[in-house]
Structure 1
Amino acid sequence: MIAYLFPGQGSQQLGMGADLFDEFKKLTDIADEVLGYSIRSLCLDDPERLGNTEYTQPALYVVNALSYYQLLEEGKPRPDYVAGHSLGEYNALLAADVFDFMTGLRLVKKRGELMGRVSGGGMAAVLGLGEQEVLDVLRASGLDSLDVANLNSPTQTVISGPREDVEQAKDLFMAANAQSYSVLKVSGAFHSRQMIESQREFAEFAHQFELRPPTVPVIANVTARPYRSDRVVDTLVSQISSSVRWCDSVRYLMGKDVEEMVQVGPGRVLTGLVRSIRRKAEPLIVTPEEEREAALLDEPPRRTAATLAPAAAAPAAAAPAPAAAATAPAPVVPRAILATDLGSAGFRRDYGLRYACVTGGMYRGIASPELVAAVARAGMLGFLGTAGQTVEQAEAGIRQLKQTLTGDTAFGVNLVHDPRHAGWEDALVDLLLRYDIRVAEVSAFITLTPAMVRYRLTGLRREADGRVVPRHRVIAKVSRPEVARAFLSPAPARLVGQLLEQGRITAAEAELAAELPVADDLCLEADSGGHTDQGVALALLPSVRRLRDTVAAQYGYRQRVRLGAAGGIGTPEAAAACFLMGADFVTTGSINQCTVEAGTSDQVKDLLQDIDIQDTDYAPAGDLFEYGSRVQVLRKGVLFPARANKLYELYKRHDSLDGIDAATAGQLQTRYFGRTFDEVYQEVRAHHPAAEIEKADQDPRHKMALVFRWYFAYSTQAALSGSDEGRVDYQVHCGPALGAFNQWVKGTELQDWRRRRVAEINLRLLQEAADLMARRLLAVGTD
């Protein structure tokens, strides 16, 4: 296979195209007409203007294009793949029939004009250091204003930003053993956040054109993956402020077994880079599944010391405006706010994420290994659901994820508090430590427990700079200030002493425990599916933020505990509202169980895909039945909420099963349970510890509670298995967020849950939230 590679700015040279302008006179005349000057004179006789961005870019585009057409006329084969370095990507798109010669030149002319206006910025080439080493130098020096602009080879990186900072960085990089550091002769900080304003203006211009899907794969600078056919315009637009991921683009072609990579255009810069990459880097092997999931990603990986991400691809290109509207084109949403900008950069950095988005650990394995792996590969943080499972089931899920995900791909496991099964909690923590699970989502904790604190403290260490660094991170889901305070404070001395005395933590870990909070991050859970205190995000987030700051001042923490938002997040508006309130991340739940990857039955998903926001209700929680704790569940199409509430009312009014009147008892046994109380109790005896059964035998009210709780276990299992017999009794934890999501996607391909992929729906949620925030900010102060 063969790939044609087109060079970008920096490859221009006086005299280029001398043998092409006469050969392709018609195209040369078109270029002169579009540009308003002679392209021949520019390239052959005007070195001053040829070095000016406004003129350089059209000149290179024309010469690259004519060079490509010359190859075809000479009988050279059409390429299997194409790619271009920065400006050269326009020629790659031309070769892939995305636009014609004139349209491409009009786009490049506008691009050159906009980029040529930018001043005050600079760029520098760093040789001898890789991307991560460059980022480490920038981060350590505090030069967060500088971005990684070009990743040209494993040891050649270009940085971009304010000229003063670019020049100042030289000594820092040379001290870090860079082979050389060369400030480039450019007028602006190209491929950096300083180009956002130019990108906005270019977006308005570019969206006037209707571009075609590529006829051959075009490897995009911003992702090092092929262009998506439905996002051509905005991927091209985003390139202006994004990193040029050239090294990975070539590695991608290597992974596709492209034997021949031919530079088409002046110079030999790309030829040299390809040679260097082939010599120093391994092919980038992308499996078909990873290829499909990569197509969902709207933004490339982070590229700056401050983890400011490049611009993203947005919805499909708009058609040209009607002629009547030519003087007032429809407004185009600028890509100034990106999905990768949302939330806390520190949160994304610490967990190795692209997006400040978490998918919660839904109970009984609904947050399946497949679901967690999908969101992890998409650059979000997923938690494996373990509540209601055996330790063996949890271990199987962890092992599957460890085998599926490679490298540093982040995922976590849910650790839920169950006051009735303390031994299970301890066993799960043993499992997390044994498999070196570095992050846990802890939920339903009203008070701290020894098992949870042991997980947090194991592996604590002090760095050379004095910071206490945990090996195990904790994201705690809370909905009450008093519980939040417990997680914001250091581990209680009583529990620390107990664990030390038992030999379950070391003396050093016990000593360091007082210097950091129990949780790294709090997820503030408003009214949600499953267990809920029916909190209100508008009240919860600001209240806990003030509490967080008070506790931090009290203990003098060196790092801020971050606050996320959960509950009710099913639409871009909801996600945007949380971020605007200052949420460092968002957690989605209900919407994820109506996806292909969710570990529940197709029958449940069929019910869920059609609900609206009013189709949920509150019912007693089976695991905390006697305490009166409540969960939010599906109401439409099932009888579970009504029946569960009836059982709890009976439990409150009676001291035993014998105290229930005969008519009601008969209804419970025939309609609710489908078996007698005695038959239910025999099943209960087979699945509960001996001590629990002994207590029930002696306490009729406890026996009644166990019989009633059987219905909650039965209704959950019926839903998970899709039992036709128990369909009306399905217990499905769900909040109105899913109803709101259903209305958002109604009439689109995502209306059918079989088209809902968990990574895609969360990415769309974030991207449209970013778009919405950009529009709202632009609208501030306008009519």
Structure 2
Amino acid sequence: MKAVVFPGQGAQRRGMGRELFDASPELVDEASEILGYSLRTLCLDDPHRQLGRTEYTQPALYVVGALAHRQWRESTGGEPDFLAGHSLGEYCALHAAGAFDFATGLRLVQRRGALMAQARGGGMAAVVGLDAARLGELLDEGGFSGRLTVANDNAPRQQVVSGDTATVDALVAHLDARDVRCVRLNVSGAFHSPLMRQAQQDFARFVDGFALGAPATPVIANATARPYVPGRTAHTLVEQIVRPVRWTESVHHLLDQGVTDFVELGGRVLGKLIDQIRSAPRPAARPEAPAAPLEGPAAPVDTPHAPLDSADDTRGARPGTPAAALGSPVFRRRMGVRHAYAVGGMYRGIASAEMVVRLGRNRMLGFLGTGGLPLPEIEQRVKEVQHGLADGQPYGVNVLADHDDPAAERALVDLLLRHSVPAIEASAFMQMTPALVLYRARGLRRGADGRTVCDHRIMAKVSRPEVAEQFMAPAPEPVLDRLRRENALTDEQVRLARTVPMSHDITVEADSGGHTDGGVATVLMPAMLGLRQRAQDRYGYHEPLCLGLAGGLGTPAALAAAFMLGADYVLTGSINQCTVESGMSTEVKDMLQDAGIADTGYAPAGDMFEFGAKVQVLRKGVFFPTRANKLFSLYSHYDGIEEIPEKTRSLLERTYFGKSVEEVWDEVCRYLRSQGRDTEIDRAETEPKHKMALVFRWYFFHSTRLAMNGEGSGKVNYQIQTGPALGAFNQWVEGTELASWRHRHVDRIGLMLLDGAAEHIATACRHWRDTLGAPSA
């Protein structure tokens, strides 16, 4: 197999490209017009000594690389099996793979070079003759870990370090005193490090103006050392600015794929590095490296000694510890996470973009909360998550079943497909809808071994066996047929959808905050495990199903119990809305941190009001549970608002609604019209009971809005969905700094719970061993 590679900055030399320019004069002229200066003069003569300046170097190397590929392809008539490029060279690789045209690539590179040239206050140094492990020891010894980034892992004995100027200078002196060759590089900034964050943000805004495609030939990304993921081209290029160049890992990956022939175009720099990588023994795998997912792109590994953002400053379970071994390794590999732990997507963005990013950066899975949010706001938050995470770092988006408006559900899924969201959390579904099936089937393709590859993961949240069975089965044939007739799916996608379950990962939800059927974990989990075995036997899935558990998980002992019941992973909810990253108002967080185990109650669910579905909510300090139950009682006893006694109706207007019923109805009508649901209004005008339901539903929306905004005048009407798990957590951290939500971070909470659960299980096992008199292992 053959790989074509392109060098990056440092490969430039005066006179480069002479024969290429003569062969493609029209492209050279186009490049000069875009750049505003003669590219031929710059590369061949460099009269103003500009070729070594970043803003000129990068466009010049891109053009030479692109023309070299064009000449190579025309002269050989061949196509490579893989493409790769070092830093700037990655743009040449992507152009060669058809991700964007020549002019688009040049405009991107021109802007990238200008932004990187503007960077100040940072520097880089090349360290030669040390392997990564020994360099790490010297960084630790000198106190440089966390202050410097290994920006380029070029070869087993060649690393480049980035950081602020003073720290780089100190490192050079530190290594020089130990007879280690360390050369200060002539650059203006700390490239491929977090110090380039401003350039990254400016570049992200620029890239938003372009439509970048997926590579037709696999391109190995510097940031992940794995192939580009479809739909993530722009995001990966933006991340490349601040992420290390993992060249050694990239070459190892290509060798593992069977590449034997490397062709370097546009320079003569990478060949020597590749030879060194090939000939050097590979180091043992780092313990923190998560195994690649069973299917789809492999997850990236953290770069050693790279400084973490403030969001990564966590303490708790780490790979190699007992906590990291809890749950199913299948789940951890499949989702690309370190721990069998996830955070659910709480309503109206309580599970915020900030929360999901913080979790993802620590290789923990979080779902963005979208319920109740308009599509433009959801799209903006999805972009925030994607810009905040590197390729392969895990995240997902919650999709809440819309029983009133299936078109809205479909519109949300269409949005997530456009943005190539890799996983969704399906909540409150009673059956498989076209939108869910579309999302699942669109992510199916046939792998090189002929097996079905799943690029779109659905984590279903269920509390009823009959619903779980649907998610464990392949997509329903009638829905597949309908989507095929609409040309929403191809014949191949329909065939593949018959070979996999709707969801490989199913969260069993016991009694919990928010929507609940009041299930008991010790009853539900064994029953669901039986269903899973029957589904596995019936359908013969190649990839195993995993069952998680949610509901009531607020202490280490609770998590330990979940794993001992057979859960492959756990999912937490209520405890996470009382954290710094939560999108809930500070007023509500202040209330939640003081909640006890007995301070919650049940109320009707606003989105399923007529069905009598329940949610679990905070009752301490608010009247919402009592008032919500009163509304359902009125709905059950009367056939229309007009039948409600005047005294009661007046009470509703004065204390519940804060306005007249007529004003509430006008507001409801405006909302329904804005959503294109005029038929709902027509129905309400002829069905008084339906109109009453819509008016009462408004109160549930209103009470949630009051809580989210922290409106003090409406505090007694706050709807705060939470369960007793939060009270148990509050009790667990009482007397510690985590008693205040201002010290609670979502990732730290998860790691502490997992650490505690592992210790709880270990202690119990020691007790059982001692009690039963079993010999120790």
User: Could you state the TM-score of these two structures normalised by the residue count of structure 1?
Assistant: 0.62
| Alpha-carbon offset, residue 670 of structure 1 | 1.2
The one-letter amino acid paired with 1:654 is: Y
Matched, 1:510 2:510: no
Aligned to 1:217: 143
Q: 1:613 aligns with which of 597, 609, 615?
A: 597
The one-letter amino acid paired with 1:420 is: D
| Alpha-carbon offset, residue 633 of structure 1 | 0.6
The whole-number CA distance in structure 1 between the counterparts of 2:343 and 2:554 is: 12
| Alpha-carbon offset, residue 495 of structure 1 | 0.6
- Looking at CA atoms only, which structure, 1 or 2, has the larger radius of gyration? 1
| Alpha-carbon offset, residue 497 of structure 1 | 0.6
The whole-number CA distance in structure 1 between the counterparts of 2:318 and 2:386 is: 40
The whole-number CA distance in structure 2 between the counterparts of 1:476 and 1:492 is: 16
Aligned to 2:27: none
| Alpha-carbon offset, residue 392 of structure 1 | 1.2
The one-letter amino acid paired with 2:512 is: S
| Alpha-carbon offset, residue 774 of structure 1 | 2.3
Q: How many residues align?
A: 528
Q: Deviations over 1:505-525 (max 9, x none)?
A: 001101111111000200111
Report the RMSD for the aligned CA atoms in angstroms: 3.9
The whole-number CA distance in structure 2 between the counterparts of 1:336 and 1:429 is: 37
Aligned to 1:641: 625
Q: Is the alpha carbon distance of 1:729 and 1:304 closer, same or farther for their aligned partners in structure 2, counting shifts above 3 Å?
A: closer
Q: Deviations over 1:139-170 (max 9, x none)?
A: xxxxxxxxxxxxx9999699xxxxxxxxxxxx
Residue aligned with 2:622, SS: coil
The whole-number CA distance in structure 1 between the counterparts of 2:318 and 2:719 is: 44
Aligned to 1:548: 532
Q: 2:385 aligns with which of 372, 391, 401?
A: 401
| Alpha-carbon offset, residue 277 of structure 1 | 14
- 8 Å contact from structure 1 (residues 334, 774) kept in 2: no
Q: Deviations over 1:622-662 (max 9, x none)?
A: 01101111101111110000000000001000001121122
Aligned to 1:466: 450
Matched, 1:302 2:286: no
Aligned to 2:429: 445
Matched, 1:710 2:713: no
| Alpha-carbon offset, residue 477 of structure 1 | 0.6
The one-letter amino acid paired with 1:421 is: D
- 8 Å contact from structure 2 (residues 132, 157) kept in 1: no
The one-letter amino acid paired with 2:666 is: Q
The whole-number CA distance in structure 2 between the counterparts of 1:545 and 1:687 is: 43
Aligned to 2:577: 593
The whole-number CA distance in structure 1 between the counterparts of 2:649 and 2:291 is: 67
| Alpha-carbon offset, residue 557 of structure 1 | 0.7
Q: 2:713 aligns with which of 725, 729, 734?
A: 725
- 8 Å contact from structure 2 (residues 560, 757) kept in 1: yes
| Alpha-carbon offset, residue 224 of structure 1 | 9.8
The whole-number CA distance in structure 2 between the counterparts of 1:491 and 1:610 is: 45
Residue aligned with 1:415, SS: strand
Aligned to 1:162: none
The whole-number CA distance in structure 1 between the counterparts of 2:440 and 2:506 is: 14
The whole-number CA distance in structure 1 between the counterparts of 2:495 and 2:435 is: 18
Residue aligned with 2:713, SS: coil
Q: Is the alpha carbon distance of 1:416 and 1:265 closer, same or farther for their aligned partners in structure 2, counting shifts above 3 Å?
A: same
Q: Is the alpha carbon distance of 1:777 and 1:623 closer, same or farther for their aligned partners in structure 2, counting shifts above 3 Å?
A: same
The whole-number CA distance in structure 2 between the counterparts of 1:342 and 1:657 is: 54
| Alpha-carbon offset, residue 265 of structure 1 | 11
Q: Is the alpha carbon distance of 1:155 and 1:338 closer, same or farther for their aligned partners in structure 2, counting shifts above 3 Å?
A: farther
Aligned to 2:172: 260
Matched, 1:576 2:560: yes
Residue aligned with 2:690, SS: helix
Aligned to 1:341: 325
The one-letter amino acid paired with 1:302 is: A
Aligned to 1:693: 681
| Alpha-carbon offset, residue 782 of structure 1 | 2.2
Residue aligned with 2:683, SS: helix
Aligned to 1:164: none
- 8 Å contact from structure 1 (residues 363, 388) kept in 2: yes
Q: Is the alpha carbon distance of 1:593 and 1:511 closer, same or farther for their aligned partners in structure 2, counting shifts above 3 Å?
A: same
Q: Is the alpha carbon distance of 1:336 and 1:427 closer, same or farther for their aligned partners in structure 2, counting shifts above 3 Å?
A: closer
Q: 2:745 aligns with which of 754, 757, 761?
A: 757
| Alpha-carbon offset, residue 678 of structure 1 | 1.2
The whole-number CA distance in structure 2 between the counterparts of 1:394 and 1:381 is: 18
- 8 Å contact from structure 1 (residues 251, 284) kept in 2: no
The one-letter amino acid paired with 2:489 is: I
- 8 Å contact from structure 1 (residues 621, 629) kept in 2: yes
Q: 2:467 aligns with which of 474, 480, 483?
A: 483
| Alpha-carbon offset, residue 218 of structure 1 | 6.6
| Alpha-carbon offset, residue 454 of structure 1 | 0.4
Q: Is the alpha carbon distance of 1:303 and 1:357 closer, same or farther for their aligned partners in structure 2, counting shifts above 3 Å?
A: closer
| Alpha-carbon offset, residue 408 of structure 1 | 2.1
- 8 Å contact from structure 1 (residues 356, 586) kept in 2: yes
- 8 Å contact from structure 2 (residues 163, 195) kept in 1: no
- 8 Å contact from structure 1 (residues 353, 410) kept in 2: yes
The whole-number CA distance in structure 1 between the counterparts of 2:344 and 2:621 is: 25
Q: Is the alpha carbon distance of 1:531 and 1:303 closer, same or farther for their aligned partners in structure 2, counting shifts above 3 Å?
A: closer
Q: Which runs of 5+ in 1 are unaligned?
A: 1-151, 159-190, 192-213, 227-245, 291-298, 311-332
Q: Is the alpha carbon distance of 1:334 and 1:513 closer, same or farther for their aligned partners in structure 2, counting shifts above 3 Å?
A: closer
Aligned to 1:529: 513
The whole-number CA distance in structure 2 between the counterparts of 1:350 and 1:470 is: 10
Residue aligned with 1:409, SS: coil
Residue aligned with 2:460, SS: strand
- 8 Å contact from structure 1 (residues 592, 598) kept in 2: yes
Q: Deviations over 1:247-277 (max 9, x none)?
A: 89976676753541646999x7xx47x7899
Aligned to 1:32: none
The whole-number CA distance in structure 2 between the counterparts of 1:606 and 1:397 is: 25
- 8 Å contact from structure 1 (residues 532, 632) kept in 2: yes
Q: Is the alpha carbon distance of 1:744 and 1:681 closer, same or farther for their aligned partners in structure 2, counting shifts above 3 Å?
A: same
| Alpha-carbon offset, residue 334 of structure 1 | 14
Aligned to 1:498: 482
Residue aligned with 1:718, SS: helix
Aligned to 1:37: none
The whole-number CA distance in structure 2 between the counterparts of 1:579 and 1:546 is: 16
Matched, 1:673 2:599: no
- When structure 1 is superposed on structure 2, of 333-342 and 705-714 the one drifting more is 333-342
| Alpha-carbon offset, residue 598 of structure 1 | 0.8
Q: Which runs of 5+ in 2 are unaligned?
A: 1-126, 199-285, 295-300, 303-316, 772-777
The whole-number CA distance in structure 1 between the counterparts of 2:591 and 2:412 is: 33
Aligned to 1:285: 193
The whole-number CA distance in structure 1 between the counterparts of 2:613 and 2:183 is: 65
- 8 Å contact from structure 1 (residues 336, 774) kept in 2: no
- 8 Å contact from structure 2 (residues 293, 335) kept in 1: no
Q: Deviations over 1:648-690 (max 9, x none)?
A: 0010000011211222222111111122211211111111121
The whole-number CA distance in structure 1 between the counterparts of 2:194 and 2:339 is: 21
- 8 Å contact from structure 1 (residues 363, 385) kept in 2: yes
Residue aligned with 1:725, SS: helix
| Alpha-carbon offset, residue 369 of structure 1 | 0.7
Q: Is the alpha carbon distance of 1:336 and 1:423 closer, same or farther for their aligned partners in structure 2, counting shifts above 3 Å?
A: closer
Residue aligned with 1:780, SS: helix
